[in-house]
Structure 1
Amino acid sequence: MIEVRKFDTLGKADHGWLKANFHFSFAQYFDQRRMHWGALRVWNDDIIAARSGFPPHGHENMEIITYVRKGAITHKDSLGNEGRTEAGDVQVMSAGTGIQHAEYNVDDEETHSFQLWIVPDRQGHKPSWGTKTFPKDARSGKFDVLASGREGDADALRIQADARVLGATIAAGETVEYDLGGRKGYLVPATGKLEIDGEVADARDGVAIADLDTLRVKALEDSEVVLVDTK
């Protein structure tokens, strides 16, 4: 099963400093058909204006992954962590028993990001935060694991869920495969245009995938892709 969710059909919110697009029900946007995909609860496509951002606020019992597509995001939290995540890189915040954080675009250009929330396998774990640089050439022509709760993914940022967040850059005409093994997948091209089993997805469309053993992604244009593999 493959369902392409066109960008124009996503939920929308415009707060001036923040333009948000919701792949799943979030805040004031509600669609009973788009509540979650497996353990993936939130996929927000955000554009944050220069010199603005999210003031301090709290989360608990959620794995929050931010993939920066353009610009950078600066993080500060109640655990004393501070850091900057730039385009192509990833940060993970495991909210656990509770954490307060702020995220700002401190630069003079817009920040474009995907923010994903994944429901953890259990509640009450110790909160944490981390960020990591993932050079795009390291994942050229293949899916590279960016964040994972699986054993064996030692190079990925750790999350408290049976899930993976993966990234790939795929040249036009190239096909990349991933062993999904019948689990759920949710894929979004950050840039470019893709074909998956005859279905075409443009940049920022969502692709919900189920009951598929091997995922085959063909790039119709040079593309940057983010994929979540979840139970």
Structure 2
Amino acid sequence: MTEHRPFTSLGTLSRKWLSARLHFRIGNLGQLAHRPLGPLVVWNDDEVAPHSGFGLHPHRDIEIVTWVRSGAITHEDDAGNRARLVVDTVQAMHAGTGIHHAERNDEDAPARMFQIWLQPRAPGGTPRWTMGSCSKTQRDGQFVTLASGDPADVRAGALPIDTNARVRIAMLREGLSMRVALDSPQAAYFVTDHGRIDIAGVRLEPRDGALVTDESNVLIDAISDTDVAMVELLG
């Protein structure tokens, strides 16, 4: 079963410095029908204006995965950590018992990112975050796991997250067809970036989402060159 979530149907959050589309409902924001998928509770498509951003703010008991699609974002936290996330960079943060952090665009151009929130397996734990990258060459024609709650994925190079899900990305070129096997419970959420795909017979335009459930594998046909990100649930 495939539920199409067109970009134009997504909830919105607009500020002078932020333009966001919400693939999942957050509190009173977003579409009522766009309910969480297991531990996947937030997938925001964010654009942050130059020389602006989120000031210091708190999180706890949540796993946050950030994928930078253009521009750069600077992260700082109350433990004294600071890092600049550029294009093709991923960050995985375990908020644990509580962390305050800031996310700013200190650049002269807008920054675009996907930010994904997942509920942890258990509350608490020491806050931490890790970073990695995935080049276009690495993900050309195949899905690469960016972050995962599966120890085998972590041993293979994925960033660790304490949740029953994995976050993956692929760059698909026009004309490519591929099948993606889904782990039990056979559920995943897919988002295109700048191009178009057909997924399980449904056409996705740029920045559309697709919720796929009860499928052991999913056929994807690339109509144009694009990145495709996905969160797959784990048993």
User: TM-score range, shorter-chain basis?
Assistant: over 0.9
What is the match of residue 203 of structure 2? 200
* Letter matched to residue 15 of structure 1: R
1:191 is paired with a residue of what secondary structure?
coil
**Structure 1: gaps of 5 or more residues:** none
- State how far apart, in whole Å, the 2-side matches of 1:94 and 1:229 are: 18
Q: Contact (CA 8 Å) 1:81, 1:129: kept in 2 or not?
A: no
Number of corresponding residues: 231
Superposition deviation, residue 27 in structure 1: 5.1
- State how far apart, in whole Å, the 1-side matches of 2:233 and 2:194 are: 23
What is the match of residue 90 of structure 2? 90
Match of 1:156 among 158, 162, 165: 158
Superposition deviation, residue 175 in structure 1: 1.4
2:123 is paired with a residue of what secondary structure?
coil
Residues 100-135 of structure 1 show CA distances to partners (whole Å, capped at 9, x for unaligned) of 000000000000111000011111121101111211
- State how far apart, in whole Å, the 1-side matches of 2:139 and 2:186 are: 22
* Letter matched to residue 194 of structure 1: I
Residues 19-47 of structure 1 show CA distances to partners (whole Å, capped at 9, x for unaligned) of 11111112541433223012100011111
What is the match of residue 39 of structure 1? 39
- State how far apart, in whole Å, the 2-side matches of 1:191 and 1:169 are: 11
- State how far apart, in whole Å, the 2-side matches of 1:202 and 1:135 are: 23
Residues 159-214 of structure 1 show CA distances to partners (whole Å, capped at 9, x for unaligned) of 00111000000110101222103421000011210001211001110100100001
1:33 is paired with a residue of what secondary structure?
coil
Q: Contact (CA 8 Å) 2:148, 2:166: kept in 1 or not?
A: yes
- State how far apart, in whole Å, the 2-side matches of 1:66 and 1:169 are: 17
Q: Which moved more, 1:18-27 or 1:103-112?
A: 18-27
Q: Contact (CA 8 Å) 2:182, 2:217: kept in 1 or not?
A: yes
What is the match of residue 165 of structure 1? 167
- State how far apart, in whole Å, the 1-side matches of 2:182 and 2:105 are: 35
What is the match of residue 81 of structure 1? 81
1:97 is paired with a residue of what secondary structure?
coil
Q: How does 1:34-183 map to 2 (within 5 A)?
A: 34-153=34-153, 154=155, 155-181=157-183, 182-183=185-186
Q: Contact (CA 8 Å) 2:48, 2:111: kept in 1 or not?
A: yes
> Normalization by structure 1: what TM-score?
0.97
* Letter matched to residue 105 of structure 2: N
Q: Is residue 222 of structure 1 aligned with residue 225 of structure 2?
A: yes
- State how far apart, in whole Å, the 2-side matches of 1:74 and 1:48 are: 11
* Letter matched to residue 20 of structure 1: A
Cα RMSD for the two superposed structures: 1.1
Q: Contact (CA 8 Å) 2:75, 2:82: kept in 1 or not?
A: yes
1:152 is paired with a residue of what secondary structure?
helix
- State how far apart, in whole Å, the 1-side matches of 2:88 and 2:229 are: 10
* Letter matched to residue 21 of structure 2: N
- State how far apart, in whole Å, the 2-side matches of 1:194 and 1:120 are: 31
- State how far apart, in whole Å, the 2-side matches of 1:28 and 1:74 are: 28
Q: Which moved more, 1:83-92 or 1:107-116?
A: 83-92
* Letter matched to residue 211 of structure 2: A
Q: Contact (CA 8 Å) 2:72, 2:86: kept in 1 or not?
A: yes
